[in-house]
Amino acid sequence: MGNPMVTALLRMELGCLAIVIFVAFTYFSSPKKKTFSHRLFAELIIVAVINIIFDCVTVYMVNNLETVNPLANFLCHKVFLGSLVAIVFLIFEYIVTLVFGDDAERTKRPVWERIPFYAGEAAILVLPIEYIETPRGNYSYGPYAYMAYVLFIGYFIASIVVAIRVWNKVERRKIQAIFIALFFVATCLIIQGIVPVALISCVGVTASVLAFFFTVESPDAQKVAILKDEKERANAANEAKTAFLANMSHEIRTPINAVLGFNEIIIRESKEPQIIEYARDIENAGKTLLGIINNVLDFSKIEAGKMELLDRTYELSALLNDVVNMMSFRARAKNLELKVSVDKNIPNALFGDDMRLRQIMLNIISNAIKYTESGSVTLNVSYQKMEQIDSDGYISADSFNTTVDYITLCVSVTDTGMGIKKDELERLCLPFERMDEDRNRTVEGTGLGLSIVKRLLDMMGSALKVESEYGKGSTFSFEVKQRVVDWTAMNSFVQTSEQSEKYHEAFTAPSARILIVDDVKLNLMVISALLKPLKMRIDTAMSGKEALSLVKENLYDVIFLDHRMPELDGVETLSIMHKEKGGLNDGTPVIALTANAVSGAKEFYLKNGFKDYLSKPVDMRHLEEALREYLPKSKMVFAQKEAKSTEQDSLPVDTASGLEHCGSQKLYREVISEFCVSASKSAERVQETLSASDWKNLTVAVHSIKSSARTIGASRLADVAANVEQYAIDVDATSLHQSIPTLLDLLEKYRKKLSSEEFLSMRFC
């Protein structure tokens, strides 16, 4: 042991052993996935530790042949060389696994890859060992050593071939690890072959282990792999959740479609105001349920990152009209006043995602109504011209006048509700959170509305601002950038918001023929009944096969096709139709009519050949809009202006509310009679104060009309009067001159209806 070279070799091997043991400790103590490649690397580390230990022992023994036990020397050399062959084999298998993935498990690989290893190990056990002594140190050689070298070279070449074949198809870090490991193995083989006494195999083993450890098997790499795996599992869970919600949406929407569809028919055909009022209650309850379902679905879409903004041209007046009409019922149900203040100069034609903008407003107003017990909820809509930038920097929008392409739409909702505590403001937009739970335990809802609002505004590059004083009320506001399509101002919102609450068909199409395909008979009945006033010829089919049979025999102007059906679904049915070139309905527009309300549904249907998409529950106005777009214009006969009786029928009177205010039928009839008698005087007073610009007395006159209208249940008149009253309070002369004719016209219509024999002969209950 006095040989300096032998001493240096032992120190080097002990250093290598310390490094590999450290790698082993770090590797086995860190979390990792249970994969075949990790199992192989674990085997490689264990065998490497054994190999280097016996390498140290054999270096000592071969240089002290005269003092060591020959049998022990023999066995140690066998273990050392056998483990070295095992390392080269494991490196080969590990490389194969890195390249081809965990599918390349040992049992799935060709047998010939393992036969040389097993045969070589067996040969090493029985072949003799010879020793050569030199002044620089001793070493072993002979048949067993030659066999080991043959195996080394064989598996080394096989590893090189595998790596070269796929070097441009595998991750760069894996290829780097493979070539670094093979480089050190080759270097050590060559050096030890040229200088037999340079027993440096431990360096190649250690370098190979380190190469794989620091590039592929490090704790950080394992954490990344685990996180990636968890992300994939989470994505799979989200996909499963989305699929479940899609099915749930379909299953829930199908019966709601029937309920709301038949309910709409009742509203359309009934002549009794009380029945119509009950039907309105059913309609709004059904829409509330749909709103809850949609909130759950939208939240799931946002969580899964599948919510997208779909910008298009829209009319702001129509959007606000929808919002106010949908929220007015809820406000009236709680005896709240829904006030609307809209800047008359806002351009009406804008470009943006009106569907999501509508959803944001509805959620905020609904939330305000929900947490307000008395008083009012005020929607305020204004705008600011955005500044343009030229080569010199920012320039005021005023200098460009109407050439500015964008505006900032400013929306705020103020309520007189209970307000929010300061320490709860941070939790306001968290999903499923409820504020002041003890006080609000009776308030219904999922706690998702404002969370969805916040996330949608984030997507629009905006944010929800909240100002609140506990016990006095709150103001929710946001600003969104919208492109201006046309600078024509919206003018008075009262004019654009007036809309008949009772549907009347705008056209008939007696010569048109359509096909409705749905596997639920109830849905076919609902849609057929809804479309009955249009006088079209309607065929129905309850399966894709039946539909294919009908389209071969009959020419249709429009086809409504459900998606989810047994056997052939809607997409498959349409695909077969399109494959039959030259058929009767080759150019017929096909509209998806389905309860599949998940994100991207419309894009999915358009991509698969549908002309349009309508979601259940069926809305008659949307049905009519689709038919107006896709039916041949020559087959549509547009309705003439409605008769006065129809106009009067469409004026809602909440007799139940009137009876509640008056306490008895007798007093209710007396109040109605007084309203009709004083209507003309009220109208004269409004006109006189308007002409004299007497804003104070005009406010009093309009307020009187509003109060009387609410007392008798004339809800629409009360809403219009409330808006006009606000204009009078604001001294908005332009809006007053534009809106008061509408108010007085509506007042006269109500006077005629309430004084008619048909109305007076009704029994109120």
The token duo for 47 is: 């065998």
The better pLDDT of the pair 324, 395 is held by: 324
Question: Which amino acid belongs to residue 591?
Answer: I
- Taking the model in full, what pTM does it have? 0.48
Tens digits of residue pLDDT in 467-523 = 888 888 899 999 999 999 888 887 655 433 344 345 556 788 999 999 999 988 888
Domain range holding 585?
A: 246-307+505-641
499 in a structural domain: no
| Residues in CB range of 380: below 8 A, 6 or more apart | 341, 342, 410, 411, 412, 413, 414
Q: Are residues 64 and 115 both part of a single domain?
A: yes
CATH number, residue 709: 1.20.120.160
Please tell me the predicted confidence (pLDDT) of residue 380: 93
Contact 425, 465 (CB under 8 A): no
- Cα-Cα-Cα-Cα dihedral of 351, 490, 399, 387, to 10°? -40
Total of domains in the chain: 4
Cα–Cα distance measured from residue 81 to residue 637, given in angstroms and rounded to the nearest whole number: 96
Give the residue from 65, 67, 52 showing the smallest Cα distance to 9.
Answer: 52
- SS3 for 295? helix
Q: What is the mean pLDDT of the chain?
A: 79
C-beta atoms surrounding 240 within 10 Å? 10
222 in a structural domain: no
337 in a structural domain: yes
The better pLDDT of the pair 324, 423 is held by: 324
Domain endpoint, select from 217, 232, 263: 217
Q: Which long-range contacts (CB under 8 A, 24 or more apart) does 730-737 make?
A: 730/341, 731/695, 732/344, 733/693, 734/344, 735/344, 735/492, 735/494, 736/690, 736/698, 737/690
CATH number, residue 261: 3.40.50.2300
Q: Are residues 261 and 298 both part of a single domain?
A: yes
Torsion sign (Cα): 675, 680, 682, 686:
positive
The token duo for 287 is: 């829409």
Tens digits of residue pLDDT in 674-715 = 888 888 888 999 999 988 888 888 988 888 888 888 888 888
Q: How many CA atoms lie within 13 A of 337 on its CB side?
A: 21
Q: Are residues 583 and 607 both part of a single domain?
A: yes
pLDDT at 535 over 80: yes
Q: Are residues 30 and 136 both part of a single domain?
A: yes
Please tell me the predicted confidence (pLDDT) of residue 645: 44
